[in-house]
Amino acid sequence: MIHITVTAKKAVNPEQDGLGRPYVGYEEGMTQDEMYAANHGEWAIGARAQKERYALFAFGRTVIQAVEIDNLERTTIYSGDPNEKRDDRYTINGQVLQKGHPVYDKYVGKASPVSVARNPVRYFEDPEFDGERGQLCACGCGETTTGGEFLPGHDQKAIHERIARIGTVAEFLKWMDVVRPASLGR
């Protein structure tokens, strides 16, 4: 699972925020929808997150929200300074879980399951609920498939990229016949 620690509620400039938010963070009394709107976005999360199914959000040392992840959306943010393009941020899109969902009931309102750390984004294992949404596309693009080894078209893209490393298709065939002559079979 992904575990994200949010800040206390603070104002941000909606024009500089990739989600156009007026504020981020948490304060007591917020509804689940308000928490999601304020905090589901623009996190520096890596390839590992692509296969996670659930995200927990915590404030202080208490879990305040659980989300079942639909997808991670890459957002490119411009701060106004062209040198300050930040393109490694992701927004977690998903379903806000409610009381009665086993993940909500296990974590929300309870003590955070991870230790204190400087990085707000953490990962932890929960064998009861972990499980892959798909798998990383075998082409290396970093996206998650919905089943199978490749996203649609990515197998073709990967093959053609390798042919191009050798040269033309004709050059590739000549090269291939040298490294793996047909007479030897597989």
Residue ranges that bind Zn ion, judged by CB under 5 A: 137, 139, 141, 151, 154
Could you tell me the smallest distance in angstroms from the CB atom of residue 148 to Zn ion? 11
As a whole number of angstroms, the distance between CA 145 and CA 147 comes to 5
Residue among 111 and 141 whose Cβ is closer to Zn ion = 141
Question: Three-class SS of residue 162?
Answer: helix
Could you tell me the smallest distance in angstroms from the CB atom of residue 5 to Zn ion? 31
Residue among 1 and 137 whose Cβ is closer to Zn ion = 137
**Residue keyed to tokens 């230790």:** 115
**Rg for the chain, CA atoms, rounded:** 22
As a whole number of angstroms, the distance between CA 105 and CA 130 comes to 16
As a whole number of angstroms, the distance between CA 2 and CA 57 comes to 8
Residue among 6 and 137 whose Cβ is closer to Zn ion = 137
Could you tell me the smallest distance in angstroms from the CB atom of residue 166 to Zn ion? 21
